[in-house]
Copies of this chain bind each other. A is one copy, B any other.
Amino acid sequence: MSLDEFALIERIARRTRARADIVLGIGDDAALLQPAPGQQLAVTADTLNAGVHFPAESAPADIGWKALAANLSDLAAMGAVPAWCTLSLSLPHAEGDWLDAFADGLFALADASGIAVVGGDTTRGPLSISITAIGQVPAAQALRRDGARVGDDIWVSGHPGEAAGALRLWQQGRLDVRGVVADAAHERLRQRLQRPMPRVSLGLALRTCAHAAADVSDGLLADLGHIASRSGVAAVLQADAVPLSAALRTALGDAAALDCALRGGDDYELCFTAAPERRQAVQALAADLALPLARIGVIAEGRGVHCEGDAGAGRSGYRHFAE
């Protein structure tokens, strides 16, 4: 079933949740929103292109989920509560079934995180999804990349490298990313690539606990490098402290698993620094959220990221335009 632009927008508009702070939603020249008093806005934009940011054969529901997840992860890394987003969708064909499946994935995550789609457009073109997400955070409470202090512990959530591991398996022809696979370890990795879970609750809890945070979208070394350079400090990482999942090690072997964890993108975990006095509080948080939080290094005087025990040293994180 082929739809025109207005029918496509209508199909998205009727799926989105209501929020009391939406004065006027989709259907006018712009949405009107009422920000809460005392809050700052956290604003982020991410684009996912077919064949660049996800395998072109990915299920549309997975594409919808992941496009929003990438943005929510940025809000999580700021300690912001997701509020509203715009969705710009370029589609080669105006296919109702495809759009419904895409919306299934997108709104599954949107509804779980409380964010509403308040605008956007659909255009004809190669498949591309641009989302701008807006969150709210009380003034002066946002997590930033530039707050790391010498002596801080470095922490990471979850098991970095699993998404990159799934991508490698797919590139090797060993993983079908279009849907559920039988092998439990491979399915776990596929889920991490296709349905990453942004760490919104963790970000909110870290407001009172962490000095600096970033999400791990470019790779742990690269994103830790952003924290180090913005904070004017060095990050010293212990490679053997980076938590590698059994699924990743089994699938790729220890050396490749570590390489994925350090240099792979798309993890959407949070990397953060906190004072050593906060270790118990961070560990309590891990228990509360049922989310592993691993202490993987320390912040020191100096510059750059130093990774002790990393055989692949010298290579950096994933860059789209790098040669």
Tell me whether A75 is interfacial, beta carbon within 8 Å. Answer: yes
A121 to B119, CA, bound (A): 19
Give the contacts of A143-173 with B (CB-CB under 8 A): 144-146
Tell me whether A61 is interfacial, beta carbon within 8 Å. Answer: no
A124 to B320, CA, bound (A): 7
In the bound complex, do residue A144 and residue B321 qualify as a contact, i.e. CB atoms below 8 Å apart? no
Determine which of B30, B45, B77 lies in contact with A121 in the assembled complex, contact meaning CB atoms within 8 Å. B45
Min CB gap A259→B, angstroms: 20
The interface bits of chain A over 266-277 (1 if a CB of B lies within 8 angstroms of the residue's CB, else 0) are 000000000000
Tell me whether A262 is interfacial, beta carbon within 8 Å. Answer: no
In the bound complex, do residue B41 and residue A90 qualify as a contact, i.e. CB atoms below 8 Å apart? no
Tell me whether A260 is interfacial, beta carbon within 8 Å. Answer: no
Determine which of B44, B84, B142 lies in contact with A43 in the assembled complex, contact meaning CB atoms within 8 Å. B84
Q: Which residue of B lies closest to A318 (CB)?
A: B5
Residues of B within 8 Å of A39, CB to CB, are 35
A35 to B84, CA, bound (A): 15
Give the contacts of A46-86 with B (CB-CB under 8 A): 46-49, 52-53, 73-75, 77-78, 80, 84, 86
Q: Which of A29, A132, A139 has the most CB of B within 10 A?
A: A29
In the bound complex, do residue B78 and residue A28 qualify as a contact, i.e. CB atoms below 8 Å apart? yes
Judged by DSSP, the binding face of A is strand
In the bound complex, do residue B44 and residue A31 qualify as a contact, i.e. CB atoms below 8 Å apart? yes
Determine which of B5, B41, B75, B120 lies in contact with A33 in the assembled complex, contact meaning CB atoms within 8 Å. B41
Determine which of B45, B53, B322 lies in contact with A119 in the assembled complex, contact meaning CB atoms within 8 Å. B45
In the bound complex, do residue A41 and residue B47 qualify as a contact, i.e. CB atoms below 8 Å apart? no
In the bound complex, do residue A43 and residue B137 qualify as a contact, i.e. CB atoms below 8 Å apart? no
A7 to B125, CA, bound (A): 26
- Can you list 10 contacts pairing A with B, beta carbon distance less than 8 Å? A5-B320, A28-B145, A29-B75, A29-B215, A32-B144, A33-B43, A35-B41, A45-B120, A49-B90, A126-B128
- Interface residues of A, Cβ cutoff 8 Å to B: 2-8, 23-24, 27-35, 37, 39-49, 52-53, 73-75, 77-78, 80, 84, 86-88, 90, 94, 118-126, 128, 130, 132-135, 137, 139, 142, 144-146, 213-215, 230, 319-323
Other 17 A-B pairs with CB < 8 A, given A29-B74, A32-B137, A132-B132: A2-B323, A4-B321, A27-B230, A28-B145, A29-B44, A32-B40, A34-B40, A34-B41, A45-B86, A45-B121, A45-B130, A47-B90, A52-B124, A52-B125, A119-B132, A125-B126, A126-B126
